[in-house]
Structure 1
Amino acid sequence: MNSRIEVTGLAAGYNGSSVVRGVAFSLDAGQILAVLGPNGAGKSTTLLALAGLIDRTEGSVQIDGTELASSHPRRAAKRGIVLVPDDRSLFTTLTVTENLRLAATRRSKVDEALDLFPRLKDRLQVPAGVLSGGEQQMLAIGRALVQDPKVLLIDELSMGLAPVIVESLLPVLRTVADAGVAVVLVEQHVSLALATADRALVLAHGEEVLAGSAADLLADPGRIEAAYLGTTLAV
């Protein structure tokens, strides 16, 4: 059986310079991959390349066994890749309902998203720009989900949010994955991300420095620390 998304030898960057090199992973439907690493490691660049928003200079990205063209965001979206960017990119003057309906493939998807985020049901006629940070992130994820993704990319879920809000959002991602979506999560709260994910990938200086079971890495934080610092643990 083919993986939902399979990435091999991915290189991408800006103005002809590679920011990430040799990134590789495969993810089945129902799995969550946590992409970790220090600031500037290339995590966001990786997601942008997967979503077709920047050029992939090397490597392959396959969705359900079929190659995905580079630098074609509409094709990526049609194939089921949906990105929640770190700035959320909401239509701030439009209401919660309008943001969701604009993106929805069908009306029932709006209802499903609201069931995942019942707090938004009381804010349906509120402009997105006056929502709290947590509510905005709920809306950004909800807007992605109404597009019926096969692969959900989330960049910096916790950006500007208190840890308690992040803790309330992460179980929703588990529910989404359990419904058959492959989720790639970039997150700075390492322990929270590892506790939610199935697998993890650590980037440093644009390259993969550690990968494995999220549970194994959560149980051995020294390996994560060494990967972040660019050092090697003694065997």
Structure 2
Amino acid sequence: MLEISGVTAGYGRTRVLHDVSIEIPTGKAVSVMGHNGAGKTTLLRVATGLIPVMSGRVRIDGEDVTRLPPSKRVARGLGYVPQGQLSFPQMTTLENLQLVAKRGSDIDEVFDLFPVLKELLGRRAGLLSGGQRQQLAIARTLLTKPRLLVLDEPTEGIQPNIVADIERVIIDLTRRGDLSVLLVEQHVGFALRSTSSYYVLKAGRIAVSGDGGDVADELVREAMAI
């Protein structure tokens, strides 16, 4: 689904990523982990088209999208949930969802994933808890019918019960087989439970990669050790 091949990227003359390659297969969830400053945000900006690459290629379903802007990548099935539980705070939960829903039945589908939102339809998004706003942000992006869902640290500042809900949703969505997920995360346990394979970035390079499991947990924690 998404291939990032030999990408070097950064800001001005400063290189942040160095010859990085990752792959997110169709219907699979893949996590990218690393400490602050490891290059995770830059990698997401490359994937979504927010910054250009210095070298390398980005492909979606085999099509070279390296030079395409974010809007063109969205048209090809990319959905992006940025860090920070973003919403339209003066609008209600329902109005936030209606902004992107094509049909009322689509909104009902996200209630199956995030039942709590159905109880909050009339409440302004700015009055929701951080965890509720995060669920709203993910639900709103899912209403655009993406084939690749990009999540930037969805557990940051979120209470444990909602972290568990987001983990369940990622697993449920990828089990259906038609949605791929790129998860950028620092919470090692959550990332490994939610995804089938992982990459760890360190100083802008892939330090270790592999599949999930107990051995993976050890390798990841060792790679992320200061």
- TM-score (normalizing by structure 2): 0.93
Per the alignment, do residues 77 and 105 of structure 1 end up closer, same or farther by CA in structure 2, a change over 3 Å counting?
farther
Inter-partner Cα distance in structure 2 for 1:104 and 1:126: 18
Q: Distance in 1 between matches of 2:17 and 2:136?
A: 30
Q: Which secondary structure does the structure 2 equivalent of 1:22 belong to?
A: strand
> In the alignment, is residue 77 of structure 1 matched against residue 74 of structure 2?
yes
Deviations along 1:152-179, one digit per CA (max 9) or x if unpaired, are: 0000111111233212210101111123
Q: Give CA deviations for 1:118-174 in whole Å, capped at 9, x if unaligned.
A: 100011111111101111110010011001111100001111112332122101011
Partner residue in 2 for 1:200? 198
- 1:150 pairs, out of 147, 156, 164, with 147
What one-letter code is carried by the residue in structure 2 that aligns with 1:224? V
Number of the residue aligned with 1:169: 166
Classify the secondary structure of the residue corresponding to 1:34: strand
Partner of 1:13: 10
Q: CA shift at 1:23, angstroms? A: 1.7
Alpha-carbon RMSD across the aligned residues, in angstroms, is: 1.6
| Counterpart secondary structure, 1:18 | strand
* Contact 2:38/2:201 (<8 A) preserved: yes
Paired-residue identity, %: 37
Counterparts of 1:85-96 in structure 2, within 5 Å, are 85-96=82-93
Matched with 2:222 is: 226
Once the 2 structures are TM-superposed, how far is the Cα of residue 71 of structure 1 from its aligned partner? Answer: 5.6
Residue of structure 2 equivalent to 1:65: 62
Provide the rounded CA distance (Å) in 1 between the counterparts of 2:111 and 2:67.
Answer: 33
Task: Return 129-138 or 84-93, whichever deviates more.
Answer: 84-93
Aligned equivalent of 1:26: 23
Q: How many Å separate the matches in 2 of 1:67 and 1:106?
A: 32
* Aligned-pair CA distance for 1:106: 3.9
Letter in 2 for 1:206: G
1:105 is displaced (CA, Å) by 4.2
Q: Secondary structure in 2 aligned to 1:99?
A: helix
Structure 2: runs of 5+ lacking an equivalent: none
Q: Structure 1 stretches of 5 or more lacking a match?
A: 231-235
- In the TM superposition, residue 220 of structure 1 has moved relative to its aligned partner by 4.6
Match for 1:108: what amino acid? S
Contact 1:23–1:208 (Cα < 8 Å) also in 2: yes
Q: Deviations over 1:81-129 (max 9, x none)?
A: 1111111321111111111121234443222112211100011111111
Confirm or deny: 8 A CA contact 2:86 2:133 kept in the other structure.
Answer: no
Q: Aligned partners of 1:16 and 1:147: how far apart in 2?
A: 36
Verify the 8 A CA contact 1:109 1:148 in the aligned structure 2: no
Q: Give the secondary structure class of the aligned counterpart of 2:43.
A: helix
TM-score (norm 1): 0.90
Contact kept? 2:188, 2:217, Cα under 8 Å: no
